[in-house]
Amino acid sequence: MNELIEYIIENEVVQIENNTMILKENNENNKIIKCYKSFDNIYSIIAKKLNIIKINKTFWLNFTNLININLDDNKIYKFSKSLFDLSNLHKLSLNKNIISLIPHNISKLKTLEYFSINNNKIVLIPNPLIKLINLNYLDISFNKIKELPIEIGLMESLNSLKIIGNEIEKLPTSLSQLSQLKEIEFEWFNFINNEPNKIYNKTLLLFKSLFNKKQLYCDFSVFIEHLNNKNEIDYTFILYSSIENNYIGLVKILSNNSKKYNINLIQKYNDKKPPLLYALSLPESINEKISKVIIKNLNFELFSKNEKLNYLTKAIRSKNIYLIKEILKTIKDENELINDTEMTPFHYIFANFDNELAKSKIIANLFFNICSNNILNHLSNEGWGAIHVATRRQSTQCLKWIIHQNKYNKSKKKFLINLKGKENWTTLLFSLNTNNIQITKLYRIFLIERLGIKLLEMFVVKMIFLILFLNY
Dihedral angle computed from the Cα positions of residues 194, 195, 196 and 199, in that order, rounded to the nearest 10 degrees: -90
In angstroms, rounded to a whole number, what is the distance separating the alpha carbons of residues 319 and 431?
27
Highest mean pLDDT among 17-31, 86-100, 195-209, 268-282: 86-100
Q: What is the pLDDT of residues 302-340, one digit of tens each?
A: 999 999 999 999 999 999 999 999 999 999 999 999 999
pTM of the model: 0.54
Q: Does 387 map to a domain? A: yes
Q: What is the pLDDT of residues 164-206, one digit of tens each?
A: 888 877 777 677 677 787 777 766 544 443 333 333 333 444 4
Q: Does 426 map to a domain? A: yes
Q: Does 26 map to a domain? A: no
Predicted local confidence at residue 215, as pLDDT: 38
Backbone angles phi, psi at 25, to 5 degrees: -70, 135
In angstroms, rounded to a whole number, what is the distance separating the alpha carbons of residues 466 and 317?
56
Question: What letters, b where the CB count within 10 A reaches 16 and e where it falls short, cover 242-275?
Answer: bbbbbbbbbbbbbbeebeebebebeeebeeebbb
In angstroms, rounded to a whole number, what is the distance separating the alpha carbons of residues 121 and 146?
12
Predicted local confidence at residue 443, as pLDDT: 64
The count of C-alpha atoms lying within 13 angstroms of the C-alpha of 76, restricted to the half-sphere facing its C-beta, is 27
DSSP string, 13-61: EEEEETTEEEEE--S--SEEE---S--TT--EEE--SS-EEEE-TTGGG
Predicted local confidence at residue 297, as pLDDT: 93
Q: What is the pLDDT of residues 233-286, one digit of tens each?
A: 677 887 887 888 777 777 888 888 888 888 999 999 888 899 999 998 887 766
Q: Does 161 map to a domain? A: no
336 within 8 A of 306, measured Cβ to Cβ: no
Q: Does 407 map to a domain? A: yes
- Tell me which of 235 and 433 has the higher pLDDT: 235
| Cβ-proximal residues to 327 (8 Å cutoff; 6+ apart), any chain | 300, 308, 311, 312, 315
Q: Does 264 map to a domain? A: no
Q: Does 84 map to a domain? A: no
132 within 8 A of 152, measured Cβ to Cβ: no
In angstroms, rounded to a whole number, what is the distance separating the alpha carbons of residues 412 and 242?
48
Q: Total structural domains in the chain? A: 1
CA-to-CA dists, residue 176 to 129, 168, 238, angstroms: 19, 17, 22
Radius of gyration of the chain (CA): 36
In angstroms, rounded to a whole number, what is the distance separating the alpha carbons of residues 160 and 215?
10
| DSSP symbol at 274 | P
Q: Does 309 map to a domain? A: no
Average pLDDT over residues 105-117: 94
| Cβ-proximal residues to 118 (8 Å cutoff; 6+ apart), any chain | 95, 96, 139, 140, 141, 142, 143, 162, 165
- Count CB atoms within 10 A of the CB of residue 96: 18
| DSSP symbol at 414 | -
374 within 8 A of 334, measured Cβ to Cβ: yes
Q: Which of 427, 417, 414 is nearest to 371 (CA)?
A: 414
CATH number for position 340: 1.25.40.20
Residue 368 belongs to what domain range? Answer: 334-472
The count of C-alpha atoms lying within 13 angstroms of the C-alpha of 200, restricted to the half-sphere facing its C-beta, is 16
In angstroms, rounded to a whole number, what is the distance separating the alpha carbons of residues 53 and 117?
16
